[in-house]
Amino acid sequence: MVRLNGLIALKFLLLLSLFLVCSGIYARHGRTKFKVIAFYTAQNDRAHVSYVHEANRWFNETAKQYKFSYDSTNTWDNLNLEFLSKYDIVLFLDTRPDRPEQRAAFEQYMKRGGAWIGFHFAAFALTPSDFPQNWDWYHNELLGAGEYKGNTWRPTSAILRVENRNHPATRHLPATFKASPNEWYSWKNDLRKNPDIKVLVSIDPSSFPLGTGPKAWEIWHNGDYPVVWTNIKYRMIYINMGHNDIDYDGGTNKELSFTFSNPIQNKLVIDALLWLGENNIKP
């Protein structure tokens, strides 16, 4: 009877040990790797609104697949240090903060080691306009681009050239790839002359002429156009993509293209998130 009880106890201990080991494995592989918060406005251009709604859907699904958490908010007052301390990466999907206290909090967050990804219109600034260049740290130091200079029209695909395939965000990309349709931006500052800016992706010359007009300046025939870059002084990356094509001319406002329907381009965004998120440094 004593021996039987001893065997039962031994089996129980073995099962308990196996349960604890399995629970530990599950906890390691099932836990959230990092936390992402996206800020957006989604009130102006229909193409930007379409993109923001698509982005929120895509990031939610991608978060499940790669085991990070994704939240989004259109309340820019949340851009404060207490709120940001809960997250590892901040995204600006379509715009930038306007109030001085929001801007100050974001600058402090980044200077403390926070991580950021900006998309398309988040870099726009033009004086005079509803989005003037009145934030030098953001546009000239962090982004390095300065003011908006011009854009292609209509939204069209472009062949993009990967200039640095050793960077964590671009190492899984081919040498060139076809991007989703987009409104491509150019900038007043020459990013190549800024030693802190490292251009990762640019428009390949095979894309020219790029754009369909009707205005002549909306069609690019030559030139150097960076579309993805990072600032080595900060944990950040800017991605110019983020403008879906819309049936403006036909008057239906139907969505004609989607930014996240491109697996190769998506890999760039995913690897940028993993680079910033898995090597997170709490600000």
- Over the stretch 40-60, which tens digit does the pLDDT of each residue have? 999 878 999 999 999 999 999
Q: pLDDT tens digits, residue range 151-177? A: 999 999 999 999 999 999 999 999 999
Q: How far apart are CA 270 and CA 247, in angstroms?
A: 29
pLDDT at residue 218, as a whole number: 98
pLDDT at residue 223, as a whole number: 98
User: How confident is residue 5, by pLDDT bands cut at 50, 70 and 90?
Assistant: low
Q: How far apart are CA 151 and CA 144, in angstroms?
A: 18
pLDDT at residue 175, as a whole number: 98
pLDDT at residue 30, as a whole number: 56
| Radius of gyration, alpha carbons of the chain | 23
pLDDT at residue 4, as a whole number: 44
Cis peptide before 226 (omega within 30 of 0): no
Helices of type H across 96-198: 100-111, 136
DSSP helix/strand/coil, 67: coil
- Read off the tokens for 237: 């990356």
Which residue bears the tokens 């039987």? Answer: 4
Instruction: Give the contacts of 200 (CB within 8 A, at least 6 positions apart).
Output: 162, 163, 164, 167, 169, 170, 228, 229, 230, 237
Q: How far apart are CA 224 and CA 58, in angstroms?
A: 30
Mean pLDDT value of segment 206-234: 97
- Contact assessment for residue 68 and residue 217, using Cβ atoms and an 8 Å cutoff: no
Bridging pattern class, strands 185-187 and 148-151: antiparallel
Q: Which fold has domain 32-278?
A: Rossmann fold (3.40.50)
b or e along 262-279 (b: 16 or more beta carbons within 10 Å of the residue's beta carbon)?
Answer: beebebbbbbbbbbbbee
- pTM of the full predicted structure? 0.88
Mean pLDDT of the chain: 91
Mean pLDDT value of segment 11-38: 58
Res 260 pLDDT > 90: yes
- Read off the tokens for 141: 């130091």
Nearest to 226 by CA among 270, 193, 258, 259: 193
CB half-sphere exposure, 169, CA atoms < 13 A: 24
Conformation bin of residue 146: beta by default, left when phi > 0, alpha when psi is -120 to 50: left
Q: pLDDT tens digits, residue range 188-197? A: 999 999 999 9
pLDDT at residue 129, as a whole number: 96
From edge to edge, which strands make up the β-sheet containing 89-92? 69-73, 35-39, 89-92, 115-119, 235-239, 226-231, 197-203, 159-162, 176-178
- Contact assessment for residue 151 and residue 185, using Cβ atoms and an 8 Å cutoff: yes
